[in-house]
Amino acid sequence: MNRKKVLAETLPVLFLCVLGGSLAGYFLGSMTEIFELIPGLIVIVPAIIDMRGNICSALGSRLGSAMHLGMLEKGLTSDITLENFKGTMSLSFFVSLLFPIFLLITSFFLPFSVTWRVLGVIALISISTGVTSAVVLLLVTFLIILLSIKFNIDPDNVSGPVLTTVGDIATLIIMFGFATFFGGLFL
């Protein structure tokens, strides 16, 4: 293992992620109005953000392994790209569908009751945010892999932190957009 390479590639990214995390916290803090309009949404926000990070870091990690296995010597070939695209999209859709169901199951924890109408809006927000942010993050992941190949960086050292941080910020912005749209339309 090349220690200097790990340190040189991972440490700067980790520090950038601390800054990115603070920025995401700031965005979240400025979204209080939408959480008052759609009670219950705040409960699934951390989970939505985490799952986005999980699905895409796993994608980055798989592509990193594929690169080390020599499967990416001709670049991102269409079958690897397509299978990972399908895998990521199906997982994103599946998990987005689960969030409103899990919210319903655990809603006895909440100090207020969630109406079916609100739950429906949350389901719409969850699915549209999940699918849209998956497309954005897939593109970012493929870009990271292409840049890693070009600049001789080990994607394992950078893809996880970069994807979770970009994912946090992008997901929050996309969710804010859909929440404002569906909230304004139905609530």
Partner 1 sequence: MKYHWKNIFKESAGILALMAFIGITGGHVLESIEEQLILFPVLLFLVPILNGVGGNLGAVLGARLSSGLHTGYIEADYLDEEVKENLLMTLLMGGMVFGGLAIGVSLSSFAIPLGLTFTQLIMIVIGAGVITTVSITFITVFTTLYSYNKNMDPDNVVIPIVTTACDFIGIVALVLMIWLVII
Binding site for partner 1 (CB under 8 A): 1, 3, 6-7, 10-11, 13-15, 17-18, 21-22, 24-25, 42-47, 50-51, 53-55, 57-58, 60-62, 64-66, 68-69, 71, 79-80, 82-88, 90-91, 94-95, 98-99, 102-103, 106, 109-110, 154-157, 159-161, 164-165, 168
Tokens of 176: 């804010």
Minimum CB–partner distance for residue 57 and partner 1 (Å): 5
Cβ closest to partner 1, residue 77 vs residue 181: 77
Cβ closest to partner 1, residue 49 vs residue 121: 49
- 163, 82 Cβ separation under 8 angstroms: no
Minimum CB–partner distance for residue 136 and partner 1 (Å): 19
Q: Report the phi/psi class of residue 151: left, alpha or beta, with left for phi > 0 and alpha for psi in -120 to 50.
A: alpha
Minimum CB–partner distance for residue 141 and partner 1 (Å): 12
Helix (H), strand (E), coil (C) string for 80-94: HHHHHHHHHHHHHHH
Going by C-alpha positions, the residue among 143, 142, 141, 132 that lies closest to residue 170 is: 132
Cβ closest to partner 1, residue 88 vs residue 129: 88
* DSSP, residue by residue, 115-162: PHHHHHHHHHHHHHHHHHHHHHHHHHHHHHHHHHHHHT--HHHHHHHH
Cβ closest to partner 1, residue 46 vs residue 184: 46
Cβ closest to partner 1, residue 18 vs residue 187: 18
Q: Which residues contact 96 (CB under 8 A, 6 or more apart)?
A: 48, 126, 127, 129, 130, 131
Minimum CB–partner distance for residue 33 and partner 1 (Å): 18
